[in-house]
Amino acid sequence: MNCRKTLEIIFTHGKRRREANAPPPIAGITRVTSLKMLGVTISGKLSVSEHVGGVISSCAQSLHAIRVLRSHGMCNSVLQTVYQAVIISKLTYASSAWWGFSTAADRQRL
């Protein structure tokens, strides 16, 4: 096992107020509160709010780039193709895996 690439995360129930006794940390392995696996960020409380925020930020940057392309005269049909290729793919990537862990607030943000 490569300890430099190994991370430890402890998942807890987000709605329970009682703190669980976490096991002692393993020597040489970093303990984290959120973990990015295959491009999807999941917190220790099984929340994807951090992932949703990152996707929204990334899409906002891409929309700005599309607006710049439009201001330079790119036609609407090509802009729609770019939008579908970039924005829609970012919004739907692995959505079947993380959508069930999103809250109502997360869904409104999207």
In tens, the pLDDT along 22-56 reads 788 888 888 999 999 999 999 988 889 999 999 99
pLDDT tens profile 54-75:
999 999 999 999 999 999 999 9
Q: Would the pTM count as exceeding 0.85?
A: no
Q: Domain residue spans in the chain?
A: 7-109
User: Which residue would you say has higher pLDDT here, 87 or 99?
Assistant: 87
The band of 87, judged by pLDDT with boundaries at 50, 70 and 90, is: very high
The backbone torsions φ and ψ at residue 25, rounded to the nearest 5 degrees and listed phi first, read -65, 150
- pLDDT over 90 at 98, yes or no: no
Per DSSP (E only), the strands in 16-83 are 30-32, 34-37, 40-43
Tokens 């295959």 correspond to 38
Which among 4-18, 55-69, 91-105 has the top mean pLDDT? 55-69
Q: What is the mean pLDDT of the chain?
A: 88
What CA–CA distance (Å, rounded) separates 79 from 67?
9
